[in-house]
Structure 1
């Protein structure tokens, strides 16, 4: 099961509406059990859950990277939570494609109590006691986050297709929520490779 994904999210800020980005998104995370036409049955923490793709569903690939791939001025999205020492720790970092630079810029609450999503450019990286400290700059604000060996590091890649949607593939579906028993997917993140990101 997609267990490490429970409680974390990314990429909702890619949606066009800034107002929507201020609210924790409606997300279904899971591993594909079956594909029937436009319907995907996912293995989730709630059990088997069905979501439906629309004509307008945007598919995005998710590839694993290393911290060396995150250079100064890279535009990223960071899910972070405060540590007991008051230092924000990065749970996940995703690198945006260059043409999506500036999307959803800013920092906002995310879908786990106390967590935030920050979309910003990397301004500085320094070595810290427990990892690397990144300074993120957005508009007139900035945020410092600690990157540890447990931080999930991925890159968003455009061009994912429905041919990649097979049993065993891990996905994250941003949906419009249950409506008449149907969760229609606005955006689908497709994990490429044998790893489980903490998205």
Structure 2
């Protein structure tokens, strides 16, 4: 009797251990699936709620527009439009002195302040990062250097003269037309389809640099 009870206990513990192991293996994959996909490219067609995009990687993708899809325009800006208190984002790469060298800078409208606040890895190039935050100090006399403050940290970003600077502006689906360059984030559904979460679309031929 005791032997039977002990065997059942061992079997129960073994099954529990296997379930925990399976969950630990499955969780990273599920988390990866939940991460939005970033697509850079040009719109080739718009058919109702279906957006067709030729990506910079040579893929022809079909992306669904939903009621929740956010659309914003991308327009050219000048460094003079960046002021202390401006809320900006910048893809950049680290430099030996601890500063970041901007690959691009995008200026958010006031109503989007706080969007994506923080500093994280990005996919614009090798070792690239994305920093979103409020501009503190701004130096334009000796090079162009900005201090960006975000919750829990601060970064100094050097903006070379040839780096694109753009504004993000409110927009709607009327901006989505064949030929328009876009950077979008899409969520993959259970059946493998892509639903657009947000779309940054260039106005007047602008290529979103982020």
1:173 aligned onto 2:168: no
SS of 2:68's partner is strand
TM-score with structure 1 length normalisation? 0.79
Q: Any unmatched runs of 5+ in structure 1?
A: 1-19
SS of 2:69's partner is strand
Whether the 8 Å CA contact 1:24–1:109 is kept in 2: the answer is: no
One of 197, 200, 203 as aligned partner of 1:186: 197
Q: How far has the Cα of 1:186 moved from its partner?
A: 0.9
Does 1 or 2 have the higher relative contact order (CA < 8 Å, sep 6+)? 1
- Paired residue for 2:28? none
Residues 1-199 of structure 1: pairs in structure 2 closer than 5 A = 25-44=36-55, 45-83=57-95, 87-111=99-123, 112-127=125-140, 131-158=143-170, 160-177=171-188, 179-199=190-210
SS of 2:70's partner is strand
Q: How many residues align?
A: 176
Distance 1:84 1:195, change over 3 A: farther
Listed one character per residue, the Cα deviations across residues 132-165 of structure 1 (whole Å, up to 9, x for unaligned) are 111112234210111012322111111x122221
SS of 1:99's partner is helix
Distance in 2 (CA, whole Å) between partners of 1:146 and 1:25 is 29
Whether the 8 Å CA contact 2:75–2:168 is kept in 1: the answer is: yes
Deviating above 3 A after TM superposition, structure 1's stretches of 4 or more consecutive aligned residues are 83-87
Distance 1:140 1:127, change over 3 A: same
Distance 1:128 1:26, change over 3 A: farther
Q: How far has the Cα of 1:180 moved from its partner?
A: 2.3
- Structure whose alpha-carbon radius of gyration is higher: 2
TM-score with structure 2 length normalisation? 0.75
Q: CA RMSD in A?
A: 2.3
Distance in 1 (CA, whole Å) between partners of 2:140 and 2:110 is 26
